[in-house]
Every structure is written in structure tokens, then in C-alpha cells.
């Protein structure tokens, strides 16, 4: 048995607790618990469940500077065109090596749950094969969900819908789609119908790249929500991006908000990526590119943040640091009241877990796997204000990593002390 002492557990951080771990699971949380073979003093630091990156493209990582990948316009659509060329040269080994490097970067910053979209508009399904192997090899270190994602369309790419179904049969966890990239609204709608049919037929989750455009006429989320609600699978369905919902008029938005509350649909906002990609045709004022994060969150609709890209044809930066994503997201969404700051860690933890439908194995409670992070802060507010580092990531009771406490000399004459 192992015991972590002096932990301030997120959502119950007003006092310190002990966490007793046995056989990789949390046995008990409380005070004055029984002795353990090993006791680790967390010195009053904040303990949070692992970060969840609910939306990432692991087959694209580190291709941003390869030949032919340069996206000169900085738009989503040029990114897709550049990837079309880059993926022709992708090999299994190359895809595997890059994805592992991306996972390592994410895990080194506290991520233990990743939902990755993998492009299946590829007759060889190279990226998917690499990812299926990695998901199995790493399952004790990091939980990975794979979305069968037709990057160039279910129909704009000939046979894309069949490739999605093939990927689901091979073991992908979620059905993906990109309706705003199909060649006409009607075809985009057809892809949404097909998405829901496939999810029901194969008993899979859904995660659609939905309305990732500033075009206010792009309203595929309405159909996705309606069909998911009719099938009773709203909570198993996710709308990623929904940028156009941030440009929609209030009459439409408020009608939809009520329907989202009924269906239980999940939303993922990708703040850094969409702040960079959207508004490219705007002069000034220039849109922020985000969906209505604040209103969704306030309205009780499940919404979370994700990284989306690490150095690929869509976005040159990105490093799997969810605290950075959160920091950008809460600024862009204007969700920085003290009340919001105290609970915004939900957007990269619990809300992501709900989106992934992994709540049964997630959270700091007796009986759940002993998966948690130790942050270099003593409260959620300080963690967010300081953009606190992750000092340790614990998975099934064992360290995935731990870092030394940061120390530095403050040279101001009036202080002259070591912190």
C-alpha cells in the first residue's frame, strides 16, 4: 500500500487529505488513514484528475515543416489541401514514430486521456493501423480513443464513407465527419445522417468536426443534435469546433441551447487553433473563432477544451500543454470571473472525461484507478493564475513522471531570499 499525504484535492481543496492506494486503485480518501509501506508528502499541493486532451490529430503531428506542408493563407481549407499532398508519402513507421513523440509530449505535461482523430481517407489506412497498435501498447499509460475521421470528406473524397465504416470494423472508437467540407449543404447533411447510422449500427461514439467555419449559414450542429437526440445517443455524441455558432444570431443560438440541454450533446472548443485559423476573411472587427463557450458552460451544456494540432499544416505550434490551452481558452471566451477561475480546470479535466464517456474510470474517489496529477499550486485559482506546472503524474498508483520542485533566486535587494 502507498499513501499520499497533505493533498488538496480539487473540488475539496479547503483542507488537506490523505489518499491511500492499493493495487493501482484508490482505496480510501480521508484523515488519519492506516499506515502504508510508502508515504509521500504532497506538502499541501493541489491534486487534480489527469488532463484530458479531447481532440488531437496524432497522425499529423510534426508534419508542419515538411516539404509541401506550408500553409501560406493560414486557413483551414489550405491546411486540408496541404495535408492531401503530405499524406501520400506517409509510412507506417513514420506515422508511428511521430504519434509516439506527440503522446510523449502530452503525457509529460499531465495528459492521460487523449481522443485522436485519424484520417481514414487513405486506401491503405496507414495512420489508423499505426494508431491501433499504439493504443493497445500504451493502454496502461494513457487512454486513447480513435475517431475514424474522413479529413477530405465522406463524399467529397470518393468512397470516404466506406473507409469510415472499414475503420470502425478495425477497431476505431468513434465515427467522425466533416460536413462543412462536403461540396454542398445537402451532401454535408447526408454525411451527418450516415454518421449517426454508422454509430448506431456499430455501437460507437460520435465526434464530428462540425461547422469549423465563420459562415453563419453552416448549421450542421442542428441536424447532428436532432438525430442524436432522436436515437437517444446525445451524451455519446460530440460536436467539435462549432466556430460558426460563435457567429450565429441569438434567436437561433438560444433555440439551440435549449435543445443541447435536452440532448446532452458534448462540445469541444479548440481555442489556440481556431483563434489562429478563423476570421481570415474578416477585416476588422475580426472574430475570435471560438464557439459560445461561456454560454454553453453557463447553460449546463458539457463543454471542454483540446489541443487539436501539434505543428501540422493547420497550426505551427502546440506542445500538449493543456494549461496553456486553458489559459488561452478562458481569455478568448471571457470566462475569468473569480467563480469561473475557481472551477475552470473542469474544462481540461472532468468535462473532457464526460465527453469521452470515461467517467466510470475517472476522478479522485475511492474505488477508481489511482490516476491523478500534483500541481505546483495550493488552489485551483493559483494553479490557473500561475499556469502551474505538473510536478507529478500518477497512473494506477505509479509515477508516469515526477519533476523536482522549481527553485530560483530572487535578486531584488529588499528580498534576497531563496524561494
Q: Which residues belong to the active site?
A: 212
Residue closest to Fe ion, measured at CB: 308
Closest CB to Fe ion among 238 and 247?
Answer: 238
**Alpha helix segments (H runs only) across 152-205:** 160-170, 185-202
Pick the piece of the chain touching Fe ion (CB under 5 A) from 24-32, 120-128, 305-313, 394-402. Answer: 305-313
Q: How far is the CB of 209 from Fe ion (least distance, A)?
A: 6
Distance in angstroms (rounded) separating the CA atoms of residues 200 and 205? 9
Helix (H) or strand (E) holding 392: strand 390-395
Distance in angstroms (rounded) separating the CA atoms of residues 111 and 267? 19
**Residue of 43, 46, 16, 44 whose CA lies nearest to 32:** 16
Q: How far is the CB of 5 from Fe ion (least distance, A)?
A: 41
Closest CB to Fe ion among 105 and 308?
Answer: 308
Q: How far is the CB of 193 from Fe ion (least distance, A)?
A: 21
Q: How far is the CB of 174 from Fe ion (least distance, A)?
A: 13
Pick the piece of the chain touching Fe ion (CB under 5 A) from 103-111, 193-201, 230-238, 306-314. Answer: 306-314
Strands of 174-175's sheet in order across: 51-56, 111-119, 143-149, 174-175, 205-210, 237-241, 266-269, 303-305
Closest CB to Fe ion among 308 and 340?
Answer: 308
Number of residues forming the site for Fe ion (CB under 5 A): 1
Contact criterion met (CB below 8 Å) for 280 and 304: no
Q: What angle do CA 49, 55, 80 make, to 5 degrees?
A: 165
x/- mask, Fe ion, residues 73-112, rule CB under 5 A, reads: ----------------------------------------
Pick the piece of the chain touching Fe ion (CB under 5 A) from 107-115, 182-190, 304-312, 379-387. Answer: 304-312
Distance in angstroms (rounded) separating the CA atoms of residues 310 and 297? 26
Distance in angstroms (rounded) separating the CA atoms of residues 230 and 319? 38
Q: How far is the CB of 44 from Fe ion (least distance, A)?
A: 38
Closest CB to Fe ion among 210 and 344?
Answer: 210
Interaction with Fe ion in 307-326: which residues (CB under 5 A)?
Answer: 308
Distance in angstroms (rounded) separating the CA atoms of residues 142 and 52? 10
Closest CB to Fe ion among 182 and 340?
Answer: 182
Rule CB under 5 A: which residues touch Fe ion? Answer: 308
Amino acid at each position: 500500500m502507498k499513501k499520499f499525504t497533505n493533498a488538496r484535492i480539487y473540488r475539496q481543496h479547503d483542507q488537506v487529505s490523505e489518499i491511500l492506494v492499493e493495487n493501482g486503485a484508490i482505496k480510501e480518501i480521508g484523515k488519519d488513514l492506516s499506515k502504508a509501506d510508502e508515504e509521500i508528502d504532497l506538502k499541501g499541493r493541489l491534486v487534480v484528475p489527469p488532463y484530458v486532451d479531447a481532440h488531437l490529430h496524432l497522425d499529423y503531428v510534426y508534419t508542419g515543416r515538411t516539404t509541401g506542408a506550408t500553409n501560406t493563407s493560414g486557413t483551414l481549407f489550405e491546411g486540408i489541401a496541404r495535408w492531401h499532398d503530405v499524406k501520400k508519402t506517409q509510412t507506417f513507421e513514420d506515422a508511428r514514430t511521430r504519434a509516439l513523440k506527440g503522446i510523449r509530449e502530452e503525457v509529460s505535461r499531465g495528459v492521460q486521456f487523449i481522443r485522436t482523430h485519424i484520417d481514414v481517407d487513405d486506401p491503405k489506412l496507414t495512420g489508423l493501423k499505426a494508431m491501433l497498435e499504439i493504443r493497445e501498447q500504451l493502454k496502461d499509460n494513457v487512454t486513447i480513443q480513435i475517431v475514424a475521421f474522413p479529413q477530405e470528406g465522406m463524399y467529397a473524397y470518393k468512397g470516404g464513407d466506406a473507409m469510415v465504416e472499414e475503420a470502425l470494423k478495425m477497431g476505431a472508437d468513434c465515427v467522425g465527419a466533416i460536413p462543412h467540407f462536403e461540396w454542398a449543404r445537402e451532401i454535408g447533411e447526408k454525411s451527418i445522417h450516415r454518421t449517426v447510422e454508422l454509430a448506431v449500427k456499430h455501437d460507437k461514439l460520435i465526434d464530428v468536426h462540425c461547422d469549423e467555419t465563420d459562415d453563419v449559414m453552416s448549421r450542421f450542429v442542428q441536424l447532428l443534435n436532432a438525430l442524436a437526440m432522436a436515437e437517444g445517443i446525445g451524451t455519446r455524441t460530440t460536436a467539435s469546433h462549432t466556430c460558426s455558432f460563435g457567429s450565429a444570431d441569438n434567436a437561433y443560438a438560444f433555440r439551440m441551447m435549449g435543445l443541447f440541454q435536452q440532448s446532452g450533446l458534448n462540445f469541444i472548443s479548440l481555442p489556440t487553433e481556431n483563434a489562429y485559423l478563423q476570421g481570415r476573411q474578416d477585416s476588422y472587427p475580426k472574430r475570435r473563432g471560438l464557439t459560445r463557450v461561456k454560454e454553453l458552460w453557463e447553460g449546463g451544456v458539457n463543454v471542454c477544451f483540446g489541443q487539436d494540432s501539434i505543428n501540422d499544416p493547420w497550426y505551427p505550434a502546440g506542445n500538449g500543454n493543456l494549461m496553456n490551452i486553458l489559459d488561452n481558452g478562458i481569455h478568448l471566451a471571457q470566462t475569468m470571473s473569480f467563480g469561473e477561475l475557481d472551477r475552470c480546470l473542469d474544462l481540461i479535466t472532468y468535462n473532457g472525461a464526460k465527453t469521452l464517456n470515461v467517467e466510470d474510470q475517472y476522478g479522485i474517489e475511492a474505488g477508481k484507478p489511482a490516476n491523478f496529477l500534483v500541481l505546483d499550486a495550493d488552489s485551483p485559482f493559483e494553479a490557473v493564475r500561475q499556469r502551474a506546472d505538473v510536478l507529478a503524474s500518477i497512473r494506477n498508483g505509479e509515477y508516469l513522471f515526477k519533476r523536482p520542485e522549481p527553485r530560483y533566486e530572487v535578486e531584488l535587494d529588499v528580498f534576497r531570499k531563496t524561494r
